[in-house]
Structure 1
Amino acid sequence: MAEKLRIVLAATPAYREMVFAPEVVARLEALGEVVVLDDPGDADALRAALPGTDVLITSWGAAPLTADVLDRADRLTLIAHSASSVKHFVTDEVFRRGLRLTQAGQAMALPVAEVSLAFTLSMLHRIQRFDHAMHAGAWRDDVPPQHGLTASRIGVVGASRTGVEYIRMVVALGAEVVVYDPYLTDDRARELGVRRTDLDDLLRTSRVVALHAPTLPETHHMIGARELALMPDGAALVNTARSWLVDMSALLNELRSGRLDAALDVFDEEPLPADSPFRGLPNVLLMPHQAAATVECYFEMGEITTDEIERHASGRPLQYELTEAALTRMG
């Protein structure tokens, strides 16, 4: 590499410790000067740091990259987001100025898929219902029939990064899998060992429906009262994606009836209020938006970010580059 880079890392001390292992920091320092900003949301500090900067590493709570901020970026060529979604801070100015953009969301795909699989198995075996009954003092309780994964059709809404990891797991364990995703091709479906179908058919015929679709205008409340009514008695909904996808009021009505089960890691209001009716339902398994929160996932985010910067510095293609067109299809 002919010239050393100036890299600005905008992340809190706690985030840096969680994501950037010492050996990864050493790799960044080998690329050039690393300037640290402790408050990623401080636009004034970012503006002051950008002149002469080649690479900007962003994190949770990043300041929006407006024209006013980017006017100071006289050498900037790459924005490397060390987490997943960039929609809260990336503006049209980024692409208008020809800046390249990458992110580390791939690190989250595997742990979230693992939680989705754990949710799926719990739903099929009614673990959440038995757990609730035993905590209440019962030995057994009246629950819907239990089922095995290999005897069940699993419906996946969205062949996203996480959706694909989840599909690979449930297919490997012997489940029949159907997928609804308007961007999934027949060739790709065959490669994954699944069958494409429409949303209504998926809902009518699946024992567990796992949501892995992105947050887009067209996916808002894609699972509403009509769609939930299509699901057969005893079926279950698994959501480790975003509550944006589900009409949560309609879901609550179905869950209160006891007709469906659900496993949820995401909610309209977070943290979930202490008096939320979801908390008291025996047919609901809850997690506090922590599906991706493994030690390994966080360190992999730092590794991916550093890999991408090294690729950029050596003129190699980025592995996880985001184009403006691709961003419109991502949550």
Structure 2
Amino acid sequence: MDRSDIDVDTPPASDGRPRLVVCVAEPEANAFFPDETRADLAALGAVTWCQPDDVRDADSFAQVMEHAQVLVTAWGSPRLDAGRLAAARDLELVMHAASSLRAVTSDDFWATGIPISQAGAAMAPAVAELALTGTLSLLRRTHRLDHALRSGAGWDEARRVTRAREIGGARIGVIGASRTGRGYVESCRALGADVHVYDPYLPPDDALRPIATDLDTLLSGSDVVAVHAPATRETAGLIDAARIATIPDGAAVVNTARSEIVDMDALYDAVSSGRLDAALDVFDDEPLPTDDRWRRLPNVLLTPHVAGATVESRRRAGRIVVDEVRRHLAGMPLEHAVTRAQMERMG
């Protein structure tokens, strides 16, 4: 195959600088790497920009990765299996511009010992903010009021929606002391909420330990339950039908994490009956079908898995990519490196 068959922007490989390959689809590549960030990345080495679809086959991947020391990935980037790793003989670092590493790593990758880092910290404030947005909207019944007015309800009828609550003094239960969970806790407490956290891995000296509780107590005593745990074997189905039944009538569930953590059928039954409200950014089926059952409920606030996708979060992620690549090339420890054991806990 001729190099001209691959749609890439490749600088000369003979200038002696480190070779960096950025395999990130548009438009995300532009979001991660505005002009200033691209210039800073280019100052670190000779950068090849390519689309994931351009390097799906082994030959194309091998050509792009020839002499490359650093590979930058994101959503849609090819999985680093044995074949691709064999083609990337000079690879020294994988820098994932997103969060979860499951889609790009493999048993073969972890066996190589090649370091991998990720930019998940960049998205945490954005995810926490959308969870807070959902919390405030549900407490104030904004979603119900909006639906009533848009669906043609009379003024007085719309105003008869269940009376709103303020976040000050509201009992907020947070499942998972992750980066997003901690940001959400901080925001809710700043607004006067009574917050409690469930996380079985919370260290004894953790600052959140005084507000920690067990899961069943948290669920049965919350006005809002916010899910911020990773999707792992341990958390799959954690919030099952029996536990959903213990959430108080009139409460709300906010999930900006992963749908696998919650029994979505049981949650649907509780929400469709009017017993609970919900704000959901994640679903079992994505993209969410246009005729999906969740779309028809007046007491659910839906967003299409965009909690971490803000202008600012993408730019922060791009800066983390540049900083981590710089640290690697300078022989310094990575600040966001992930081991296989850590990945199993992070999802």
TM-score range, shorter chain: over 0.9
Partner secondary structure for residue 260 of structure 2: helix
Provide the residue aligned with 1:220 in structure 2. 236
Say whether 1:99 aligns with 2:117: no
What stretches of structure 2 of length at least 5 have no aligned partner? 1-15
Distance 2:225 2:161 in 1: 19
Is the contact between residue 37 and residue 46 of structure 1 (CA under 8 Å) also seen in structure 2? Answer: no
Offset of 1:18 from its aligned partner? Answer: 2.0
Provide the residue aligned with 2:6 in structure 1. none
Q: What's the TM-score once normalised by structure 1's chain length? A: 0.94
Give runs of aligned pairs for residues 174-253 of structure 1, distance below 5 A.
Answer: 174-188=192-206, 191-192=207-208, 195-253=211-269
Is the contact between residue 43 and residue 63 of structure 1 (CA under 8 Å) also seen in structure 2? Answer: no
Q: Say which of 28, 52, 60 aligns to 2:75.
A: 60
Offset of 1:11 from its aligned partner? Answer: 1.9
Is the contact between residue 177 and residue 194 of structure 1 (CA under 8 Å) also seen in structure 2? Answer: no
Give runs of aligned pairs for residues 246-325 of structure 1, distance below 5 A.
Answer: 246-325=262-341
Q: For 2:191, give the aligned amino acid.
A: L
Q: Say which of 130, 154, 162 aligns to 2:145.
A: 130
Distance 1:131 1:194 in 2: 38
Is the contact between residue 222 and residue 245 of structure 1 (CA under 8 Å) also seen in structure 2? Answer: yes
Offset of 1:14 from its aligned partner? Answer: 2.6
Distance 1:194 1:163 in 2: 16
Q: For 1:260, give the aligned amino acid.
A: L
Provide the residue aligned with 2:130 in structure 1. 115
Offset of 1:247 from its aligned partner? Answer: 1.2
Distance 1:238 1:12 in 2: 30
Partner secondary structure for residue 143 of structure 1: coil
Is the contact between residue 179 and residue 194 of structure 1 (CA under 8 Å) also seen in structure 2? Answer: no
Q: Say which of 33, 56, 62 aligns to 1:42.
A: 56
Partner secondary structure for residue 131 of structure 2: helix
Distance 1:320 1:138 in 2: 53
Provide the residue aligned with 1:147 in structure 2. 165
Aligned pair in 2 of structure 1 residues 154, 13: CA closer, same or farther (>3 Å)? Answer: closer
Equivalences, count: 327
Offset of 1:300 from its aligned partner? Answer: 1.6
Offset of 1:225 from its aligned partner? Answer: 1.2
CA displacement 1:237-294 (0-9 Å, x = unmatched): 0001111111111111111211111111111112222222211212111111112221
Is the contact between residue 219 and residue 247 of structure 2 (CA under 8 Å) also seen in structure 1? Answer: yes
Distance 1:271 1:118 in 2: 22
Provide the residue aligned with 2:5 in structure 1. none
Q: Which is further off, 107-116 or 123-132?
A: 123-132
Q: For 1:233, give the aligned amino acid.
A: D
Say whether 1:165 aligns with 2:178: no
What stretches of structure 1 of length at least 5 have no aligned partner? none
Q: For 2:79, give the aligned amino acid.
A: P
Distance 2:342 2:39 in 1: 32
Offset of 1:193 from its aligned partner? Answer: 7.5
Distance 2:315 2:74 in 1: 13
Offset of 1:145 from its aligned partner? Answer: 3.8
Offset of 1:146 from its aligned partner? Answer: 2.4
Identity across aligned pairs (percent)? 46
Is the contact between residue 168 and residue 192 of structure 1 (CA under 8 Å) also seen in structure 2? Answer: no
Say whether 1:6 aligns with 2:22: no
Partner secondary structure for residue 335 of structure 2: coil
